[in-house]
Amino acid sequence: MSSLPELSDDAVIDVAREGGFAFIPRLAEPRRITLAQLDGAQKEHVCSVLRQALALGTPPGEQSTAGRGDQRYYRIEISYATPQRIGNIVLQIPEDLAPPALVQLWQHGQ
């Protein structure tokens, strides 16, 4: 995956945990993070977690172990706009490969 674009205050990040045999709404609830609502340190932390995730994740449909069988995975969607372009990045990371900081981001939204 390429590098993370420069994210401005209009960036929105959705983090969800999906997959597994049973659908449990509380466990599937996505977290929405709007960078405009965070202070500088929080923004840097979220961007750091996203950079880690880019190195581990694969886009949906690409060869991945995410979601196979009963394996859960984290789905990250980053919507952003830069002066050069508007974009959307979607990644899937198998639960067993997810860094603790990503799990924390999903659990607490920060």
pLDDT score for 82: 77
Confidence of residue 27 (pLDDT cuts 50, 70, 90): low
The strand pairing partners of 58, in sequence order, are 92
Confidence of residue 2 (pLDDT cuts 50, 70, 90): low
The strand pairing partners of 32, in sequence order, are 14
Kindly report, residue by residue over 43-97, the tens digit of the pLDDT: 999 999 999 888 888 877 655 554 455 678 899 999 998 778 888 999 999 999 9
**8 A C-beta contact, residue 30 and residue 15:** yes
